[in-house]
Structure 1
């Protein structure tokens, strides 16, 4: 049996940009491989909210069918420019300079990777961005063995909402002992 494929070239290039820019919280390889796997099953438009250095988008690109479109928006115009340069040869990837709302014009999405905690709380907007059957992947949760989920002595209301909202079928997945994410499919 062979080992998993090495990190794809675009992922390596975005990780290098992350290192140079001092970002230490880029998308984990485990999350990235999950994004690539889910992207392989999707058609239409995929999106990332919270581009950063483009690591999540690079993972999406590594798994997505060639005819799928990937859009992502980065608030910092200089960082967006650096990420645009990395993706210049990827014809199906569009990197926008602007806040996440710049992506609304490309909706509905068949897969939406959300890496901005403040935006996760606005379920109505995010639900409206997803096509029926669309999948949202929400990153950067701290595992909790309690219900309702407790983090730093407080109920994690964002996680609680995503796991109980009737518009979605959702599950929390442990990615590492200190990290989890939520996968939610729009009914």
Structure 2
């Protein structure tokens, strides 16, 4: 059985923007469907660190519960403006120009999609942004079937830190044979 090929219209528009801007990577459909599913279970403020062309935020908005909102920050001001235009008819999504720290004022988050490599490496930083019971989703892992987790012949210390930090209950979840995410709930 193959995965559904249809994507929500807003996700399709974000993917089009991504192609026009020359981005060769965007949130995978498998991860996007997981984001939409998790967003449907959350209230309060959801966030994406690392907007890019808005694909992750579009997936979040396709499942977001009524009354919840999504905030996202993009470092490139021109790209942030293009993504703001993309979401102009989606009042639950706010895109700002700036690095991840531009979103600190919106914390704590009930769901945080972390798509910024440097932030993903800092469990402390993410923990400070999360509400208790909030879920962090960390993208772009290659599945590891060993402990400690190995990537490219070395211990993957980032993954190991997330899976063992006492402030989170965390699990690595395969979203495709070649891709996994870490789901970490703040306790």
Scaled by the length of structure 2, what TM-score is found? 0.96
Query: Does the residue aligned with 1:132 lie in a helix, a strand or coil?
Result: strand
Equivalent position of 1:103 in the other structure = 103
Equivalent position of 1:84 in the other structure = 84
State the alpha-carbon separation in 2 of the partners of residues 117 and 77 from structure 1.
19
Equivalent position of 1:22 in the other structure = 22
Aligned-pair Cα RMSD in Å: 1.2
CA shift for structure 1 position 6:
2.8
Q: Which runs of 5+ in 1 are unaligned?
A: none
Equivalent position of 2:171 in the other structure = 171
State the alpha-carbon separation in 1 of the partners of residues 5 and 47 from structure 2.
23
CA shift for structure 1 position 142:
1.2
**Is it true that 1:39 corresponds to 2:44 in the alignment?**
no
Equivalent position of 1:64 in the other structure = 64
Equivalent position of 1:7 in the other structure = 7
Trace 1:109-128 onto structure 2 (pairs within 5 A).
Answer: 109-128=109-128
CA shift for structure 1 position 4:
5.0
State the alpha-carbon separation in 2 of the partners of residues 74 and 151 from structure 1.
28
Give the count of matched residue pairs: 185
Trace 1:144-159 onto structure 2 (pairs within 5 A).
Answer: 144-159=144-159
State the alpha-carbon separation in 1 of the partners of residues 4 and 25 from structure 2.
22
State the alpha-carbon separation in 1 of the partners of residues 24 and 44 from structure 2.
31
State the alpha-carbon separation in 2 of the partners of residues 118 and 141 from structure 1.
14
State the alpha-carbon separation in 1 of the partners of residues 4 and 40 from structure 2.
16
State the alpha-carbon separation in 1 of the partners of residues 12 and 171 from structure 2.
29
Greater than 3 Å deviation, 4+ residue runs: none
